[in-house]
């Protein structure tokens, strides 16, 4: 267990310290400073003990958590779409100031974060703040940056101004069929996005050197759809495909037990759920056509992502809903993270522990 492991290490370092002090006492009794016998075996043992203890104390005081190196920051809940199965619903805006948010970003960097994805809601509903955060995280904090968006509010002007500081541009595309998009809720006014819109977004990314990827949620509304032609035409560098995920208090008919999370719950994912076999059939159909989807079912997704909400609180992503931790601004990053459940097995299964490769982010950019 974790406790027994810590007990072992403490006993080991305690014994090491005792040996070091004994060696120090013996060394002082035998030699004079800087004489020919200064570097005795006792002195070398003492020196090694001190170095090891200092390294250990440094790790305790300034810990680096590999689980925190990639964080999804849902910095707002507002969205211009009304997707039935959205897992991060509309809610009250954050009361944090821009200064608080940027201080939180610095804290994440100090805690070991090297990659940050900005999400929502719809990030481009606050496009100015989004651009400032992307620029700051890339230029000042030297992070890998990404955004997950429906892209309906993305403009050429924004990409020209901020795109060169953006490593990944992720577009949510759940269907290429207009009637399905309307049924899902991916419509603003009377407008739905077409393949031509997404091809234009990809061209913007190519002009700024930003990598283009696609995220798709598979539900009962699109599970029979064949996206092979469109995905091949878009040719994203990554295509991540998720099984629609039911979360209490967000997209289910059951209210969350967490009174601190106040969201609009007029929509439900219950009619949209798909069985594991249906989800796998969707994956197999597109994999056989060479589209290479990266599949994540419900078991893989739950509690395997590090999610930070609009108040800089970490979120559980389990059966009982998204229960927030205390804000990192109040208790620190590591203390807040320890308040939520994190499924390390699922994290490894979705390859979240694979080291971030510089070549994976375009070569010309550096972490």
Positions marked catalytic? 79, 83, 86
How many Cα neighbours within 13 Å face the side chain of 310? 25
Asked if residue 137 lies in contact with residue 182, where contact means CB atoms within 8 angstroms, the answer is no
**CA–CA distance, 166 with 116 (Å, rounded to integer):** 10
Residue recorded with tokens 């050429």: 156
Neighbours of 205 (CB within 10 A): 22
Mark 122-149 as b/e (b = at least 16 C-beta within 10 Å): bbbbbbebbbebbbbbbeebebbbbbbb
Asked if residue 154 lies in contact with residue 124, where contact means CB atoms within 8 angstroms, the answer is yes
Residue recorded with tokens 């400032």: 132
> Residue 188: phi, psi to the nearest 5?
-125, 120
Neighbours of 210 (CB within 10 A): 24
Q: 2-30 and 41-61 are packed helices; what angle lies between their axes, rounded to 10 degrees? A: 140
**CA–CA distance, 92 with 251 (Å, rounded to integer):** 17
* Cα 6 to the center of its chain, rounded Å: 28
Give 314-365 as a DSSP string.
Answer: EE--BTTB--EEEEHHHH-HHHHHTTS---HHHHHHTTTTSPPPGGGGTSSS
Tokens found for residue 25: 């006492």
**CA–CA distance, 21 with 222 (Å, rounded to integer):** 69
The count of residues in the chain is 367
């Amino acid at each position: 267990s974790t406790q027994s492991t810590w007990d072992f290490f403490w006993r080991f370092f305690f014994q090491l310290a005792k040996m070091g002090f004994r060696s120090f006492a013996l060394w002082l009794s035998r030699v004079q400073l800087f004489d020919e016998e200064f570097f005795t075996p006792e002195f070398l043992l003492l020196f090694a003990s001190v170095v090891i203890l200092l390294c250990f104390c440094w790790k305790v005081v300034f810990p680096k958590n590999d689980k925190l190196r990639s964080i999804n920051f849902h910095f707002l809940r507002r969205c211009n779409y009304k997707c039935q199965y959205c897992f991060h619903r509309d809610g009250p805006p954050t009361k944090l100031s821009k200064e608080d948010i940027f201080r939180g970003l610095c804290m994440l960097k100090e805690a070991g974060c090297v990659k940050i994805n900005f999400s929502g809601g719809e990030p481009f509903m606050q496009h100015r703040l989004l651009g400032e955060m992307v620029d700051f995280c890339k230029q000042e904090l030297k992070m890998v940056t990404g955004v997950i968006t429906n892209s309906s509010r993305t403009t050429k002007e924004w990409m020209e101004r901020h795109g060169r500081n953006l490593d990944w541009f992720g577009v949510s595309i759940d269907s290429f069929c207009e009637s399905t998009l309307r049924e899902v809720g991916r419509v603003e006014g009377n407008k739905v996005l077409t393949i031509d819109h997404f091809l234009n977004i990809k061209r913007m990314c190519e002009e700024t050197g930003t990598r283009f990827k696609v995220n798709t949620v598979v539900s009962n509304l699109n599970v029979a759809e064949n996206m092979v032609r469109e995905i091949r035409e878009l040719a994203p560098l990554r295509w991540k495909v998720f099984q629609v995920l039911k979360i209490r208090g967000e997209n289910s008919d059951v209210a969350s037990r967490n009174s601190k999370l106040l969201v609009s719950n007029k929509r439900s994912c219950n009619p949209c759920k798909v069985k594991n076999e249906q989800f796998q059939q969707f994956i197999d159909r597109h994999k056989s056509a060479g589209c290479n989807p990266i599949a994540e079912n419900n078991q893989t997704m739950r509690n395997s992502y590090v999610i930070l909400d609009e108040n800089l609180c970490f979120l559980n992503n389990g059966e009982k809903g998204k229960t927030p931790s205390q804000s990192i601004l109040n208790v620190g990053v590591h203390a807040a993270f320890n308040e939520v459940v994190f499924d390390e097995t699922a994290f490894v299964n979705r390859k979240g522990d694979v080291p971030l490769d510089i070549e994976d982010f375009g070569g010309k950019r550096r972490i």
